[in-house]
Chains A and B, each alone.
Chain A
Amino acid sequence: MKTSDLIDSHARSATPVKRLRPPFVRAAVWLLLAAAVLALLALAHGLRPDLSARLRQDQFVTGIAATLATAVLAALASFRLSLPESSRWWCLLPLPAVSVWISTIGYACLTDWVAMDPDGVRMGEAAQCFATLLLTSVPLSIAMLIMLRHAAALRPALVSATGGLAVAAITSFVLALIHQFDATIMMLIWNLGTAATIAALATLLGPTMFSWIASRVPPLPPVS
């Protein structure tokens, strides 16, 4: 096809489109969706029974605050990176929060090392955790893929990695508020394992998924 023909065909199919809102507004919309998911899960399953006691422990509060901060900053970085003229250095935005998050897990692991025993692994709890994990990460990943589909033609790998980190952090935050981990080994498996798996899956599959979604979901028309 000649370039002039391509221009003609693009011009002929140029319908009005709705401009993207600023990235922080879009990140806020996504985080509101995450809050809605958390609220629904809390209603259906209930928060962990010892939450008020845990909220008095500095280590727990630091941990969940760092997780939440990671989610907020990674979501903001992801929406920012999806715009063509943004600097790629935005990917470093969640780094301080991620460092604190990983440090708290590492600290818990070191101080509670003796608490790890085979009795700590409970499969019943694990199955419920898995359900929470899927109910949180799947809808939020799909929402993010649709909201960021325009990144398919730009820098899909970086956007997927930061987006995956945001989903992983939110999932970890929800798990920490809903499920009671009485054994450190389970906390470690769920916290680090799920976060690493979600982030790795997003980085590996994100670019392909973005192209797939972008080819099927066109830009939205403006609201009249």
Chain B
Amino acid sequence: MPLSNTPPIHQAKNRRLVLVEPESVQERAAPQTDWSALMASAQDGDRNAYRALLTQIEPYVRSIARRCFRHPADVEDAVQDVLTIHSIRHSYDPQRPFIPWLAAIANHRVIDRLRHETRKRAREIELSPEHETFAQAHANHDGIAERALIEAIDKLPPEQRDAVRMLKLNEMSLKEASKASGRSVGALKVATHRALANLRKLIGGGSTS
């Protein structure tokens, strides 16, 4: 049934849409007079009618999504989200106009998505290239800080230096380090503790104890 022939109540509902729809979409949507009939057939299980309907409404839904999202991927996600009308297609009543039903769902889904995005932005930070890490270990090192640390370790007394190298740099367990150095676990723990205290002083500008 063409929109121009619809009863006054349908016209009133469609006129309300002018507030939210871009003009070009209205023009494009107006010829789609049989969306309501297509949906009614789809509810009865007509797959071709359903495919035709979804293909025809996609540009309309995309125009609504484009008003809220700029990035093409976000627009695509929003369009696919609105196509969840699939799961609630039984809530459409063929006695009522189709476009207000679809527009209401599209607005709800898009607003929901915007809320979700805003919440996500509030608690997550997007990584910039300098935050990225690389597979090769040396690519991730900050050269200056690393050199300062190696020089500071070299200045430590021998037993502390060996303990730090084994336990921290080579990531050996206390047991492995004890076996390799022939020193007790307790002695290694004490040496590491003192070494770290000394490193803090050295890097902060002090001298070893």
User: Which A residues are within 8 Å of any B CB, using their own CB?
Assistant: 1, 3, 6-8, 10-20, 22, 82-85, 150, 153-155, 214, 218-220, 222
Partner of B104, one of A3, A6, A7, A84: A84
Q: When the two chains form their complex, are residues B93 and A20 in contact, meaning their CB atoms are under 8 A apart?
A: yes
The contact of A14 among B45, B83, B91, B109, by CB within 8 Å, is B45
- Chain A contacts for B87, CB-based, 8 A: 150, 153, 214, 218-219
CB <8 Å contact, A153 and B51: no
For A11, A14, A155, A220, the residue with the greatest tally of chain B CB atoms inside 10 Å of its CB is: A14
Q: Are B92 and A19 in contact, with the CB atoms below 8 A?
A: yes
Residues of B within 8 A of A219 (CB): 87-90
Residues of B within 8 Å of A, CB-based: how many? 35
Dominant SS among interface residues on chain B: helix
Q: Once the chains bind, are B83 and A6 in contact (CB under 8 Å)?
A: yes
Contact B80 A153 (CB under 8 A): no
Closest partner residue, chain A, to B92 (CB atom): A19
B90's partner among A1, A20, A153 (CB-CB below 8 A) is A20
Which residue on chain B has the smallest CB distance to residue A16?
Answer: B45
16 contacts between A and B (CB under 8 A): A3-B58, A3-B80, A6-B80, A7-B51, A7-B55, A7-B83, A8-B51, A11-B50, A14-B45, A14-B46, A16-B43, A16-B44, A19-B43, A83-B91, A84-B101, A85-B104
Least CB separation from B51: chain A residue: A11
By a CB distance below 8 angstroms, the chain B residues around A222 are 44
Quick one: closest B residue to A214, CB to CB? B87
